[in-house]
């Protein structure tokens, strides 16, 4: 009987997640320019990826993006969750404001920030110029381009992570915090020694989610920078997209890159999970 209840969900999961994943793995050993005729190439696609001169740059970009994105979004979401948790008035309003970017379409996010970050007529540079800060080329300088996409990535997901952490915070027994306060613990001590350790399981979820989101980032980056300037914001998913859907179409190569991405995400998620579990046991 329980299997019957989960059957509809499982059917959707198998059809739209598992089956395409298996097909993707299978296609990664073929060469196909049209998705209908397949020529077996063995591990040729994997070898082609690792000998592609652009893959090192893409891997470096992805690593930089994921590291900074995960650290910044985790730290900031904890900070915002703590602030909102302590908020006495208009708590719902601030929560809604924080969550607003999550509800925006990634394409819209990319377009909005593309306008905001425009070097000559963007409002950000107008403000910076008024303050005597010059006109940084956010979308034309490689380093600034990477900073811009990390910032926008964090901006998009911050509300989502903060809400999850807020739920975790509200699950902490208030009596523990009150007892610590009565014993003379400062606000910082309470956060460091009680709240953060108790928030570890939720933080682990955030770390895993942020890592996955970081590796999968594509849509808003594609709209914001198109992977530029000079390929500085081309991450692994855009690499897959370009191989699979831009001429000359190479579905096999795109699938092989997808398999590699899956293995990387799987390894990081497993590592996060194992480290978190080990620490919890200690």
Chain residues in the site for other proteins (CB under 8 A): 32, 34-36, 114, 118-121, 137-140, 145, 222, 225-231, 233-234, 242, 245-249, 251
Compute, in degrees rounded to 10, the torsion defined by CA atoms 101, 106, 108, 109: 50
Instruction: Decide whether 203 or 217 has the Cβ nearer to other proteins.
Output: 217
Beta strands in the chain (DSSP E): 30-31, 39-40
Q: List beta partners, residue 219.
A: none
Instruction: Decide whether 169 or 224 has the Cβ nearer to other proteins.
Output: 224
- Burial string for 140-171 (b: 16+ CB within 10 Å, else e) reads ebeebbbebbbbbbbbbbbbbbbbbbbebbee
Instruction: Please report how close the Cβ of residue 51 comes to other proteins at its closest, in angstroms.
Output: 16
Instruction: Decide whether 119 or 200 has the Cβ nearer to other proteins.
Output: 119
What does DSSP say about strands 39-40 and 30-31: parallel, antiparallel, or unpaired?
A: antiparallel
Instruction: Decide whether 23 or 187 has the Cβ nearer to other proteins.
Output: 23
Q: What are phi and psi of 39, to 5 degrees?
A: -110, 125
Instruction: Please report how close the Cβ of residue 118 comes to other proteins at its closest, in angstroms.
Output: 6
Instruction: Please report how close the Cβ of residue 251 comes to other proteins at its closest, in angstroms.
Output: 7
Instruction: Please report how close the Cβ of residue 30 comes to other proteins at its closest, in angstroms.
Output: 13
Instruction: Please report how close the Cβ of residue 102 comes to other proteins at its closest, in angstroms.
Output: 24
Instruction: Decide whether 36 or 174 has the Cβ nearer to other proteins.
Output: 36
The number of CA neighbours under 13 Å toward the Cβ of 59 is 12
């Amino acid at each position: 009987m329980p299997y019957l209840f989960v059957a509809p969900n499982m059917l959707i999961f198998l059809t739209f997640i598992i089956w395409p994943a298996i097909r993707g793995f299978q296609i990664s050993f073929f060469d196909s320019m049209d998705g209908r005729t397949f020529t077996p190439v063995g591990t040729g696609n994997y070898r082609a990826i690792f000998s592609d001169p652009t893959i090192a740059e893409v891997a470096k970009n992805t690593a930089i993006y994921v590291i900074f994105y995960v650290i910044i979004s985790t730290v900031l979401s904890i900070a915002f969750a703590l602030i909102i948790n302590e908020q006495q008035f208009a708590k719902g309003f601030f929560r809604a404001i924080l969550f607003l970017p999550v509800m925006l379409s990634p394409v819209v996010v990319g377009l909005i920030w593309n306008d905001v970050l425009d070097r000559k007529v963007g409002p950000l540079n107008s403000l910076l110029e008024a303050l005597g800060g010059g006109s940084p080329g956010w979308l034309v300088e490689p380093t600034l381009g990477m900073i811009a996409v990390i910032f926008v990535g964090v901006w998009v997901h911050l509300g989502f992570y903060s809400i999850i952490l807020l739920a975790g915070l509200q699950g902490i027994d208030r009596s523990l915090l009150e007892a610590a306060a009565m014993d003379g613990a400062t606000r910082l001590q309470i956060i460091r020694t009680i709240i953060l350790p108790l928030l570890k399981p939720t933080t682990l979820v955030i770390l895993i989610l942020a890592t996955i989101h970081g590796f999968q980032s594509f849509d808003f980056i594609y709209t914001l920078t198109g992977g530029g300037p000079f390929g500085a914001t081309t991450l692994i998913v855009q690499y897959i997209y370009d191989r699979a859907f831009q001429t000359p179409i190479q579905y096999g190569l795109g699938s092989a890159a997808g398999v590699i991405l899956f293995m990387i995400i799987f390894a990081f998620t497993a590592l996060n999970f194992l480290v978190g579990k080990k620490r919890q046991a200690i």
